[in-house]
């Protein structure tokens, strides 16, 4: 594999990441496929939207369908019928955020499966082994992610543990072609973030992620820290901002030097009737759309906007029809993927700041 930065524009970068299952242009947004499916979408549809890499959740897939079933398929790609790259997280974030009863030691985390009550022990080594079985193109290190409002001592403790765990992750052999990314913690303290970048940056990871953002801290804090630290991650390797965020977040982070993103926002909001458009967010349940024959976003060329009216979408949403989740997800993912494609073009053309400014202004125009 190799990561090539093709063009920079300020701190923003356009690149190309060669992975075992294909090449990914950056900046890129990765749709989230928690249980081996990007909710409501088929792999063919994701392809047609231009998605080239998706994210799978180790925690969820470990519990269901379980490693035995995934191994029988020869990995996650064939299980879910997705031939393109996959990044899997380490499972750590989900254990910390979804499990109310878990026990953390330096060895790892012990918890009970909420599916069948079985005891589970997740360690750096186990996470690597699970992700080796999943066969993902990018394997994430097992980290300790504290809450957004954690005290400095807690953050420092998590950083130190994350570094020790990172070294243990690196000691596990993966499959040929699998890359491994380290995860930087440090909360919203620039000094701590830079310290952790120094520690992890010295290790032999193929890329680096910023973890511990969008975990409850104020957005301006996140922007401030991103702006100060993202471009201090090793310049020759991809930079991934985990679990973030809104279109505005992506614009800011790309401007700070981030290359990769994942977030449930476009897919989850779609199912809840929150649509992203070129003129800001649209809540389809509003009465004003009852008779509205316009497409969802007249500036969008997706199947949803070409074939259906706002009034029909509102009706499908009111009736809880599956087709609503489909058409809304299709549109929101198109919006996100088009956003990062636009950013990439703008970087190549040396006008990223202008692109980000104009796009941000349109998104905040409060049109709806």
Residue 323 touches a copy of itself, criterion: CB under 8 A: yes
Nearest approach in angstroms of CB 68 to a copy of itself is 7
Choose, by CB under 8 A, the member of 17, 40, 158, 250 that binds a copy of itself. 40
Residues 55-84 that bind a copy of itself (CB under 8 A): 64-65, 68-69, 72-73, 79-81
Phi, psi of 359 (to 5 degrees): -65, -45
Choose, by CB under 8 A, the member of 8, 42, 113, 283 that binds a copy of itself. 42
Residue 43 touches a copy of itself, criterion: CB under 8 A: yes
Residue 186 touches a copy of itself, criterion: CB under 8 A: no
In sequence order, the 6+-apart residues with CB closer than 8 A to the CB of 291 are 311
Nearest approach in angstroms of CB 240 to a copy of itself is 26
Q: For the CA atoms of the chain, what is the radius of gyration? A: 20
Nearest approach in angstroms of CB 322 to a copy of itself is 4
Which residue lies nearer to a copy of itself by CB, 316 or 363? 316
| DSSP secondary structure string for all residues of 244-263 | ---HHHHHHHHHHT--EEE-
Which residue lies nearer to a copy of itself by CB, 250 or 296? 296
Which residue lies nearer to a copy of itself by CB, 225 or 300? 300
Residue 318 touches a copy of itself, criterion: CB under 8 A: yes
CA-to-CA distance for 15 and 265, rounded, in angstroms? 24
Q: If we measure between CA atoms, which residue out of 46, 54, 100 comes closest to residue 333?
A: 46
Tokens of 293: 């024959």
Phi, psi of 143 (to 5 degrees): -120, 170
CA-to-CA distance for 349 and 252, rounded, in angstroms? 18
Residue 317 touches a copy of itself, criterion: CB under 8 A: no
> Which residues in 158-196 are b (16+ Cβ under 10 Å) and which e?
bbebbbebbebbbebebeeebbbbbbbbbbbbbebbbbb
CA-to-CA distance for 305 and 327, rounded, in angstroms? 9
141: which DSSP letter? Answer: P
Nearest approach in angstroms of CB 297 to a copy of itself is 17
In sequence order, the 6+-apart residues with CB closer than 8 A to the CB of 295 are 304, 305, 306, 308, 309, 310
Residue 98 touches a copy of itself, criterion: CB under 8 A: no
Nearest approach in angstroms of CB 191 to a copy of itself is 42
- Kindly report the CA angle at 105 between 133 and 121, in degrees rounded to 5? 30
Which residue lies nearer to a copy of itself by CB, 202 or 318? 318
Which residue lies nearer to a copy of itself by CB, 42 or 274? 42
Find the DSSP H helices in 110-208.
Answer: 124-134, 152-170, 190-201
Which residue lies nearer to a copy of itself by CB, 6 or 321? 321
Q: Are 24 and 85 in contact (CB under 8 A)?
A: yes
Count other C-beta atoms under 10 Å from residue 320's C-beta. Answer: 8
Nearest approach in angstroms of CB 32 to a copy of itself is 13
Choose, by CB under 8 A, the member of 183, 250, 256, 325 that binds a copy of itself. 325
Residue 294 touches a copy of itself, criterion: CB under 8 A: no
Whose structure tokens read 């458009």? 277
Residue 47 touches a copy of itself, criterion: CB under 8 A: no
Choose, by CB under 8 A, the member of 14, 19, 32, 41 that binds a copy of itself. 41
Count other C-beta atoms under 10 Å from residue 361's C-beta. Answer: 9
Size of the site for a copy of itself (CB under 8 A): 38
Catalytic residues: 89, 262
Which residue lies nearer to a copy of itself by CB, 77 or 161? 77
Residue 114 touches a copy of itself, criterion: CB under 8 A: no
Interface stretch with a copy of itself, choices 42-50, 104-112, 139-147, 148-156 (CB under 8 A): 42-50
Which residues bind to a copy of itself, rule: CB under 8 A? 35-37, 39-44, 64-65, 68-69, 72-73, 79-81, 290-291, 293, 303, 307-309, 311-312, 314-316, 318-319, 321-323, 325-327
């Amino acid at each position: 594999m190799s990561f090539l930065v093709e063009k920079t524009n300020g701190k923003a970068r356009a690149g190309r990441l060669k992975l075992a299952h294909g090449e990914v242009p950056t900046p890129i947004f990765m749709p989230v496929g928690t249980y081996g499916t990007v909710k409501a979408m088929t792999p063919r549809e994701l392809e047609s939207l231009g998605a080239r890499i998706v994210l799978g959740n180790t925690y969820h897939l470990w519990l269901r369908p379980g490693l035995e079933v995934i191994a029988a398929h020869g990995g996650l790609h064939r299980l879910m019928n997705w031939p393109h790259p996959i990044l899997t997280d380490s499972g750590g974030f989900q254990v910390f955020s979804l499990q109310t009863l878990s026990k953390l030691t330096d060895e790892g985390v012990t918890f009970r499966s909420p599916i069948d009550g079985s005891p589970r022990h997740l360690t750096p080594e186990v996470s690597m082994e699970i992700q080796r079985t999943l066969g993902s193109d990018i394997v994430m290190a097992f980290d300790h992610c504290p809450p957004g409002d954690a005290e400095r001592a807690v953050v420092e403790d998590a950083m130190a543990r994350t570094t020790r765990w990172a070294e243990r992750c690196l000691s596990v052999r993966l499959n040929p072609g699998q890359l491994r990314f380290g995860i930087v913690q440090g909360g919203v303290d620039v000094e701590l973030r830079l310290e952790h970048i120094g520690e992890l940056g010295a290790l032999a990871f193929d890329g680096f992620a910023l973890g511990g953002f969008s975990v409850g801290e104020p957005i301006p804090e996140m922007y401030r820290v991103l702006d100060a630290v993202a471009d201090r991650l090793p310049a020759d390797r991809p930079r991934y901002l985990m679990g973030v965020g809104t279109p505005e977040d992506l614009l800011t982070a790309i401007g700070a030097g981030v290359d990769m993103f994942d977030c449930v926002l476009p897919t989850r909001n779609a199912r809840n009737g929150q649509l992203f458009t070129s003129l800001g967010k649209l809540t389809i349940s509003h009465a004003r759309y009852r008779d509205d024959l316009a497409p969802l976003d007249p500036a969008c060329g997706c199947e949803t906007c070409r074939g259906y009216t706002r009034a029909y979408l509102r009706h499908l949403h009111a009736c809880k029809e599956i087709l609503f989740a489909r058409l809304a997800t299709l549109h929101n993912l198109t919006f996100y993927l088009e956003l990062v494609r636009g950013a990439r073009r703008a970087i190549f053309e040396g006008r990223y700041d202008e692109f980000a400014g104009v796009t941000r202004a349109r998104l905040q125009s409060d049109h709806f």
